[in-house]
Chain A
């Protein structure tokens, strides 16, 4: 929900980043305020996942220019775990399988790392299980997943739900969902969308990277941005997503080209 005087959670200014000398982000500008839901769309390879990983501090990418102000602080020098503890959450497009580490242990250590950061005592195993069971409800996951190795052998949809489960547990200030809707069946899509809606609060914000209008029918974005060649080239309201669904990306690219030549 857009409100005039809410806090800025994330402010990205002229962000450029490269991988081994190849530029991938070419000056991204984005401002996200508390209470807002943003959608980022764009063709394959336009830099959406890269943007999310650069925000979260993935070591493969080198930021060459610009700044990322998160919760009032420039986080460019922060390690990924510090950014996480500061309230940034990234639901991965392709969550990794981690054999040998149970989902429950992973969740507990993550949760307790956050408590430690807040100066709170670690939660014991029993209380934690109660807490997790409550969160499992939200994404309608069976408790039997907790005993299994993290994401190992999970179906595509199960992995995505597991990401939302983690977000529910960590209650971040900013949740970035990278194609969490891809690969979900219709029921799962509704469950995940419902989860995201329930987690959206006036004091947090959500950025959803997606290719499809479908999820936006359930999770209504306040803003829709389109990325192209490592830049946000167009922004608008939710009707922009509708238009993209109908007309594809070409018309935007043409407009962008004419804009450039007009300059």
Chain B
């Protein structure tokens, strides 16, 4: 700390900003029905999939880009994006063995701290690695298959298990749900698919790692997780991208379906490139994530640690259809420099005695804007339903902005909705207190931030909690003064 009140905000350089030099098969920029047919043909998809895409595309054409959120960006030219890019040497047919995967790609994931090879990979986490538009490898497939758990890329699922995909795809997020979801439904190229059969508890964490490499491709991945009666699964998603001074669009759709007594835990640590300190470059992260607690006593829990992206618009939601079903949302959203995040959740209570819990922790540093936006909706038949929401904001320095927009809609008077909010600050006086006890600024910030986030960290799988903690500290290095 110097005598000046606020030091310039210099972020730790983004260490995942490298580009992998691979030859790719990238289709020309632009979007029309022929492009969609071409994507579907390249992937050798069943007929229903092409229909699904075209239906979505036709709806999308009639839709307007949303503008209700608390963020601003220059208009996206959807004809200036390439909708398909795949590393060559990696056919849409899934590789059977890692030996056949381009070593440059394996090296990329190793550099990202995610080795895929037999010897080095994480022992208790199965990983699906997605590079630009396609999945390049999935580990532990055989081991999972023994338990009947299917974990593969969605392209592969369309070849191998078309019936399951057909039954559930679009059942939670309909093709015309919103502008970005419709776009995704029309053009998505890959993503992960998980199916956990009745009564099975998935023996390990499942994880997908999304890597955007190409500078001009949009990433539109699609994830579908189906948990049959009384099954349990925990899934983790991680993301990084190189540093380009242009913006890349990431518009994913994630659908979760939990049947009777099933439980899905979905965790995300998102560290897309956020742009530089002047706000140049970075990922636009416009994602639709929704889970449907279809069965009674089912449970869906979202945990997210959002640290990257230039702009984030993201509202992982739960539709609580089954009686006694439970939805949870635990979120840490950190913004620094010029980042803008508008994130939160929707809890839609439909069934009786459904319960939901929202714990949101927003940390804003630099000149960033961090908004929580949440909707709790109690439907007319949701007798005895309850919600508890807690939204805490932490401001670091004097130039950051935090907003909370809680919307509540109650159509049944036997329900109960509770909302609490707080704002705290890491300012000069807090840092001075720590410094006066000999504690460095870095340690002080990381202690205060970890403390602030503890409730959410506790929800993350063990292996990732400390990782997430480190990530936050890294992101905030030198961000205060």
Contacts and interface: CB of A to CB of B under 8 A. Distances in A.
B452 A113 contact: no
Interface centre among A98, A102, A170 (most CB of B within 10 A): A98
A170 B437 contact: yes
Interface in B425-439: 428-430, 432-439
A100 B448 contact: yes
Q: Which of A62, A79, A105, A109 has the most CB of B within 10 A?
A: A109
B424 A99 contact: yes
B102 interface: no
B451 A58 contact: no
B3 A100 contact: no
Interface stretch (A26-34, A82-90, A130-138): A82-90
Contacts of B438: 81, 84-85, 110, 113-114, 117, 170
B432 A80 contact: yes
B164 interface: no
A79 B1 contact: yes
Interface in A122-146: none
B74 interface: no
Contacts of B124: none
Interface in B406-431: 424, 428-430
Interface in A67-120: 79-81, 84-85, 89-90, 92, 95-96, 98-102, 105-106, 109-110, 113-114, 117
B435 A92 contact: no
A59 interface: yes
Question: B3, B4, B429, B438: which has the most chain A beta carbons within 10 Å?
Answer: B438
A56 B1 CA distance: 13
Contacts of B432: 56, 58-59, 80
User: Max chain A CB contacts within 10 Å: which of B435, B436, B447?
Assistant: B436
A60 interface: yes
B469 to A, nearest CB: 13
A242 interface: no
B443 interface: yes
A90 B437 CA distance: 8
A204 B424 CA distance: 37
A166 interface: yes
A149 B454 CA distance: 12
Contacts of B72: none
Interface in B61-80: none
Interface centre among B1, B429, B439, B448 (most CB of A within 10 A): B439
Nearest to B1: A59
Contacts of B451: 98-102, 105, 149
B2 interface: yes
A16 to B, nearest CB: 14
B5 interface: yes
B443 A79 contact: no
Chain B interface, DSSP helix/strand/loop, else mixed = helix
Given A95-B433, A110-B437, A166-B437, A80 B447 contact: no
Contacts of A62: 3
Contacts of A102: 451
B440 interface: yes
A113 B448 contact: no
A256 to B, nearest CB: 31
A98 B433 contact: yes
B5 A84 contact: no
Nearest to A53: B432
Interface range, A side: 20 to 34
A99 B428 CA distance: 16
Contact of A92 (B5, B433, B447, B450): B433
Given A59-B1, A62-B3, A106 B437 contact: yes
B454 A60 contact: no
Interface in A30-52: none
Residue among B1, B2, B428, B435 facing the most chain A CB atoms (10 A cut-off): B435
Contact of B429 (A61, A81, A96): A96
B436 A80 contact: yes
Contact of A80 (B4, B435, B448, B452): B435
A96 B441 CA distance: 16
B20 to A, nearest CB: 39
A95 B430 CA distance: 10
A48 to B, nearest CB: 17
A116 to B, nearest CB: 9
A101 B448 contact: yes
A101 B447 contact: yes
B135 to A, nearest CB: 39
B448 A98 contact: yes
Contacts of A56: 432, 436
A175 B3 CA distance: 23
A166 B451 CA distance: 20
A113 B436 contact: no
A165 B8 CA distance: 35
A113 to B, nearest CB: 4
Given A59-B1, A109-B443, A79 B435 contact: yes
A200 B437 CA distance: 19
B439 A113 contact: yes
Nearest to A95: B433
A113 B443 contact: yes
B111 to A, nearest CB: 31
Given A109-B447, A149-B451, A60 B5 contact: yes
Given A80-B435, A100-B451, A101-B447, 7 more contacts: A56-B436, A58-B432, A59-B5, A62-B3, A80-B1, A105-B447, A109-B447
13 contacts: A58-B432, A60-B5, A61-B3, A80-B432, A81-B436, A85-B438, A89-B436, A98-B430, A98-B433, A100-B448, A100-B452, A106-B447, A110-B434
Interface of A: 56-62, 79-81, 84-85, 89-90, 92, 95-96, 98-102, 105-106, 109-110, 113-114, 117, 149, 166, 170
Which 8 residue pairs are nearest across A and B when measured between Cβ atoms? A100-B451, A80-B435, A110-B437, A113-B438, A81-B435, A84-B438, A101-B451, A85-B438
